[in-house]
Amino acid sequence: MPADGEAAADPNFMTSLARGLAVIRAFSDREPRLSIADVARATGLSRAAARRCLYTLERLGYAGSDGRGFFLRPKVLALGHAFLSGRSLAATIQPSLERVSEALHESCSAAVLDEDEIVYIARAATKRIMSVGLSIGSRLPAYCTSLGRVLLAHLPEAERERYFATLRAEALTERTVTDPVALRRIVEQTRVRGFALVDQELEIGLRSISIALRNPAGQVVAAMNVSTQAQRVGRREMESRFLPLMRAAAEELKPALG
């Protein structure tokens, strides 16, 4: 949400709508139930503003309350339905994800960048290897995911600098890189190498490798990853066995991503 000064200077900006959307985005797989205080902390709103937003969402059927906290109701899915149903990108990518997943016997996903998070748009899962289930529309921080690092690496320089200028990285495991200087270096290495490999920074026991998906003009439109259990597959094998298959799939996809 733009800073209050920016919003006040723009007569076309609807602050109340921005606040309501910020409240919806405060909920996640990890925090599906939130109190008014929780929402206020997550969004930067006052408790009074958070309460009004939650009350409105509840009245409209997008949120519910059990007296201890608030949660989103299924009606909120309608907000993303038009995007997902009218978007050909996910449908175009899905068959390739399934082929890679079948060949490697691992989960394969695609995501796009939305501000400081990645959003899953397509997924071919073999079996659950994360404690947090992922599905279409799931969101994760960009800085500690291989998908996110690939997408950050191909942002225009000015956008990438804005991202790092406001980044507040949190250690999700003891392996998570949170130092801004180190993260900048990793993202630059990702751009040069053409792939990102994240080793148990998002969750202990999880390794993931990602590459960019480009359209015929060479523009990055999404990123593809393969995730595996760290105890089963080493880093070298991911680079030597996974990466060639992923790159071949990305090359085959390129003409269809125009």
Considering the chain, what percentage of its residues have pLDDT values greater than 70? 91
- For residue 25, which phi and psi values (nearest 5 degrees)? -75, -15
Looking at domain 87-257, its CATH class is: alpha beta
pLDDT tens for each residue of 76-121: 877 766 555 545 788 899 999 999 999 999 999 999 998 889 999 9
* In the chain, domain spans: 4-74, 87-257
Nearest to 227 by CA among 254, 206, 212, 204: 206
The pLDDT-based confidence of 45 (bands split at 50, 70, 90) is very high
Per-residue model confidence (pLDDT) at position 237: 94
CATH number for the domain formed by residue range(s) 4-74 = 1.10.10.10
Per-residue model confidence (pLDDT) at position 8: 55
Q: Within a 13 Å sphere around the CA of 7, how many CA atoms are in the beta-carbon half?
A: 11
Per-residue model confidence (pLDDT) at position 3: 53
Per-residue model confidence (pLDDT) at position 60: 92
- How many Å is the maximal CA-CA distance in the chain? 56
Per-residue model confidence (pLDDT) at position 87: 55
The helix-helix angle for 36-43 and 47-59 (nearest 10°) equals 110
**Alpha-carbon gap, residue 6 to 3, rounded angstroms:** 5
pLDDT tens for each residue of 128-154: 555 556 778 888 999 999 999 999 999
pLDDT at 9 over 80: no
For the chain, the average pLDDT equals 89
pLDDT tens for each residue of 215-230: 998 999 999 999 999 9
The pLDDT-based confidence of 179 (bands split at 50, 70, 90) is very high
pLDDT at 184 over 60: yes
**Alpha-carbon gap, residue 102 to 125, rounded angstroms:** 9
